[in-house]
A and B are shown apart, each in its own frame.
Chain A
Amino acid sequence: MRDHPLVQLTLARMREFVREPEAIFWVFGFPIVMAFALGIAFRNRGPGELRVAVARGAGDSALAATLDRSPRLAAVVLDSATARLQLRTGRVALLVLPGDPLVYRYDSTRTESRLARLEVDAELQQARGRTDVVAVRDDRVTEPGSRYIDFLIPGLLGMNLLGSGIWGVGFAVVQARQKRLLKRFMATPMKKSHYLLAFILSRLCFLFVEVVALVGFGWLMFGVGVRGSWLVLAGVTVLGALAFAGLGLLVASRARTIEGVSGLMNLVMLPMWILSGTFFSYARFPHAMIPFVKALPLTGLNDALRAVMIDGASLGQLAAPLGVVALWGAVSFTLALKIFRWR
């Protein structure tokens, strides 16, 4: 069993990988560092207090005192020049000019300013006796699943599968070709399929560690859970890893040098990092682009991962995105085998 060429080739791949500390960091450490940093930076704090200014004039301090009473506003009285400067530089969200009528000066393209406009107006109108005509009650939610980190972890997982598939397979193949090791293997009775299969098998072994590390970190640190079945999650990640290993083989199928293949890898990966909804939803792109974005393999994988982790989707509901991933994988493998340069 241990002497089977497939076992030995896979072992060799895995040994070479784990003996490369940089590779370990980029595959296992980097996504966790990224999740940590982004999770902290974009944690949900709510809008907090909005800072507004009242320009000097008749009744300025009374106005400021009224506004200050609101827990959502912090008001200061400033002379007109300073107030204008602070408004322009964004240090205050809105400037109230006392008089009749009262003037609200603000930039209507800034979300914060528009929010301040609503808050300030509501406070001042109420203080002057306006009453609400409909009874309302606030029901606030901060459910796991709706936070940025819940969106981010599946995206990072998808990006990580893409990166380790393309780097892990691509670099190793081109390095072996550059060092004439590929040619040396061709001088043995080795089956080509064994050589390629060894890459896939070693990827699947590391895949397990990658997924557990990142999902485990998200759960321990930010309470990001998996709503769907673990089995479905495992199936989705395996399919993703296979597809990206195929893409890695395709990228590396002809290149003779590491420099050459690095360029190709970036060409393949960079657009997907941006377009495929890793860090932000691809719904922000113009409508006409969406079908193109949805045809990318990382988009399919990210959508499927989010559906499992956040929405608890079952395998049947994932047919469309997984179909895209599987198609990319199958086409890449077939093409890579056809054009692969074995020496």
Chain B
Amino acid sequence: MSAIRCRGLVKRYGTLAAVDGLDLTVASGECFGLLGPNGAGKTTTIEILEGLTLPDTGDVEVLGMHWDDGAGGRALRERLGIQLQETQLADKLTVRETVALFRSLYARAHTVDEVLDLVELQEKRDTWVNKLSGGQKQRLSVACALVSRPELLFLDEPTTGLDPQSRRQLWDIITKFRAGGGTVLLTTHYMEEAERLCDHVAIMDHGKIIASGTPRELIAGLGAEHVVEFALTDAAAAPDDAVLGGLPGVQRVRRDEGRIALTVREVHRALPALLALLQSRGAELSLLTTHHATLEDVFVTLTGRHLRDA
């Protein structure tokens, strides 16, 4: 059974189509990642699924229910946990008071202590919200989403702006929630986060899904698993694309701000050939790196842009 299913979602703001004909299916029990740069329409999409924004057209089904099933979807809300982007909780309530407030809004909620254990905020229970660090605030925000014992958890850019340690703490919380059988839909523009947490990802750009599948499938779709990037001290000395593309194992050549990126199947054959070619031309390297292809490479290959600056 699928936790979320939507068909033909469209949402326009004036002439701008924030969401432009979107189909999505999230299976029960999986972690699904909606990836894309800022402005791709991720937040609009997730807020439509959360029943906070009305789509212009399209059909949304969440946990087998529809948002217009009477009573403002209250029965459905009981089963969801929602963390919004940019919500600032009341500054002058303590952590415990904040969780107690959200807890009171649900029929069969966790106790305050259970949730604070879950997000490891026990020792901050009597601290005012405005005295918390960014990571702690974000964990509190997730605590308010988890307090309802949700079957389905929505997280909109849960780790944006957090330091690496806070980010890992949040990943642990999400992993624990999934271990209990919960379904997660999260948006992110961190590819590493998606690869690490998500069973399925959909890459969004300009309100549309441009690719979807497991992270492994998407990377495999590049036809090669490695990326060799290099730059020359004299950019004019660079061989042209046809020559580079003819090197053994090279699938694709991409130029980007003075750098040249080769998507290759076998690094051990492509790299010596590249070095020999450059040496024969007397070109001098100023940079050379290789890495396993990531979702970032998938996005760049599909759109010609990087996620961060897209």
Contact = CB atoms under 8 A, between A and B. Distances in A.
B103 interface: yes
A4 interface: yes
Most chain A beta carbons < 10 A, residue from B89, B92, B105: B105
A256 to B, nearest CB: 14
Nearest to A9: B101
A91 interface: no
Interface string B79-109: 0101010111110110001001111111100
Contacts of B82: 184, 187-188
Given A183-B52, A189-B78, A16 B92 contact: yes
Secondary structure at chain B's binding surface: helix, strand, loop or mixed? loop
A3 B104 contact: yes
B81 to A, nearest CB: 9
B296 interface: no
Contact of B50 (A4, A7, A19, A187): A187
Contacts of A12: 90, 93, 97, 101
Contacts of B86: 180
Contacts, number: 72
Contact of B97 (A5, A15, A184, A188): A15
A189 B84 contact: no
Nearest to B53: A343
B216 interface: no
A186 interface: yes
Contacts of B148: 188
Contact of A15 (B77, B92, B103, B107): B92
Given A12-B97, A15-B93, A189-B74, A184 B105 contact: no
B261 to A, nearest CB: 39
Interface in A10-38: 11-12, 15-16, 19-20
A319 interface: no
A5 B104 contact: yes
A8 interface: yes
Q: How large is the interface on B (under 10, 10 to 19, 20 to 34, 35 or more residues)?
A: 20 to 34
A242 B89 CA distance: 27
Contacts of A40: none
Contacts of A181: 87-90
A205 interface: no
A326 to B, nearest CB: 30
Interface string A59-102: 00000000000000000000000000000000000000000000
Interface residues of A, number: 24
B104 A184 contact: no
Contact of B88 (A11, A16, A180): A180
A8 B100 contact: yes
Interface in B101-120: 101-107
Contacts of B88: 179-181
B104 A7 contact: yes
B90 A16 contact: yes
A190 interface: yes
A13 to B, nearest CB: 10
B87 A343 contact: no
B92 A179 contact: no
Contact of A343 (B52, B92, B97, B103): B52
A190 B92 contact: no
A251 to B, nearest CB: 21
A204 B87 CA distance: 29
A258 to B, nearest CB: 13
Interface string B183-219: 0000000000000000000000000000000000000
B87 A180 contact: yes
Contacts of A187: 50-52, 77, 80, 82, 84
Q: Return the 6 tightest CB-CB contacts between A and B, nearest first.
A: A8-B104, A179-B88, A19-B92, A187-B82, A189-B77, A188-B105
